[in-house]
Structure 1
Amino acid sequence: MKTARVFLVLPGLAALAWGVVLFAEYALPLRPDVFGTVGWIVGGPILNDAVVAPLTAVLGIVLARRLPSRWKAPVIAGTVTTAVLAILAFPLLWRPYGTPPMPGLHDGNPALGLTLTIAVVWLLVVLTALRPRKAPPITRDAPPITRDAPPITRDGPPITRDAPPDTRTDLPRTPADPPGTAADPPGTPADRPGS
């Protein structure tokens, strides 16, 4: 296990070191715009960890307690997806050219794109919650437990799906059962007179 961790940590450390090298090439010698970049690099994770993630978590907890069970998972997934999309779109919404130019990135309307994407996410949430669900097949031989059903005890006869109602079926006998109990089939020595 330690070897696997080392092989996972080493590429991460190498990527981190390469990022530091690239940032040093960009930032040195110091200029006024470097401080704005540092603000974005440091402020983004702090804003996410201090504001966006806790708000998303609180909203997810509130929704999980208030919504019916079939709506819980889709709505929580939609809430988290909306938060991630908002984080990704934030630089372009904050100022029109808030990121380095990339072909196709600045050609569109970021607010409209974010709105349409979030609309599709919530449409999928509604469709997922409203889709009909099939009941899982019954895999046990035992009858379903309901509020109305009397408890199944060891003393009473078991209920089977094959037997019609009010049909007595004998329980298997265990070493703890004394002779003559319900577990003995009719005609055993315990039922015969004189035994």
Structure 2
Amino acid sequence: MRTARALLALPGLAALAWGVVLFAEYALPLRPDVFGTVGWLVGGPILNDAVVAPLTAVLGAALTRLLPRPWRAPVVTGTVITGVLLILAFPLLWRPYGTPPMPGLHDGDPALGLTLTVTAVWLLVVLTALRHRVVPPITRDAPPGTRTDRSGT
């Protein structure tokens, strides 16, 4: 088991080392814009760990206590997906061209795209929660029907 873990960790450590090499090529010699980049690289995880993750945990705990059983998993899942979408859209919503230009990325309206995506997620949340009303859940109270009567053959 330890060998498998070590073999799984090696590609991650190699990617981390390659990232350090690429950042060193970018950052050295030091320039003023490097400090802004370090702020984003350090500030993002701190903001996530100090604000976003605790808020998501508190919201998830509150929702599981307040919502009926068929709505719990879909709503919590939709909340987490919405949070991830907001984190991914943040650079484009923060300022225009907040990311390096890529073909087709800046052709659309990021706020509209985020709104449509979040709407689709919550539509799926509602449909998933309502499926219990349309299709009753399978219960295993009785054994499955078997053919024991062979008199017809």
TM-score computed with the length of structure 1 as normaliser: 0.70
Counterpart position of 1:75 = 75
Please list the CA deviations of residues 71-107 of structure 1 after superposition, one character each: whole Å capped at 9, or x if unmatched. Answer: 0000000000000000000111111111111111111
1:9-20 superposed matches below 5 A: 9-20=9-20
Shift of 1:51: 0.7
Please list the CA deviations of residues 148-171 of structure 1 after superposition, one character each: whole Å capped at 9, or x if unmatched. Answer: xxxxxxxxxxxxxxxxxxxxxxxx
Q: Tell which has more relative contact order, 1 or 2 (C-alpha 8 A, sep 6+).
A: 2
Counterpart position of 2:140 = 137
Q: Which amino acid aligns with 1:103?
A: P
Shift of 1:134: 2.5
Counterpart position of 1:37 = 37
Please list the CA deviations of residues 30-63 of structure 1 after superposition, one character each: whole Å capped at 9, or x if unmatched. Answer: 1111111111111111111111111111101000
**Separation in 2, partners of 1:19, 1:134:** 49
**Separation in 2, partners of 1:58, 1:39:** 27
Q: Which amino acid aligns with 2:96?
A: P
Q: Which amino acid aligns with 2:42?
A: V
Shift of 1:18: 0.2
Please list the CA deviations of residues 101-149 of structure 1 after superposition, one character each: whole Å capped at 9, or x if unmatched. Answer: 1111111111111111000000000000001333313246xxxxxxxxx
**Separation in 2, partners of 1:22, 1:71:** 46
Question: SS of the counterpart of 2:48?
Answer: helix
Q: Which amino acid aligns with 1:135?
A: I
**Separation in 2, partners of 1:63, 1:38:** 36
Q: Structure 1: where are the runs of 5+ without partners?
A: 141-195
Question: SS of the counterpart of 1:4?
Answer: helix
Q: Which has the higher helix share?
A: 2
Equivalent pairs counted in the alignment come to: 140
TM-align CA RMSD: 1.0
1:61-100 superposed matches below 5 A: 61-100=61-100
- Runs of 4 or more, structure 1, over 6 Å off, are none
Counterpart position of 2:146 = none
**Separation in 2, partners of 1:97, 1:34:** 18
1:119-134 superposed matches below 5 A: 119-131=119-131, 132=134, 133-134=136-137
Report % sequence identity. Answer: 79
Q: Which amino acid aligns with 2:30?
A: L
> Which has the higher Rg, Structure 1 or Structure 2?
1
TM-score computed with the length of structure 2 as normaliser: 0.88
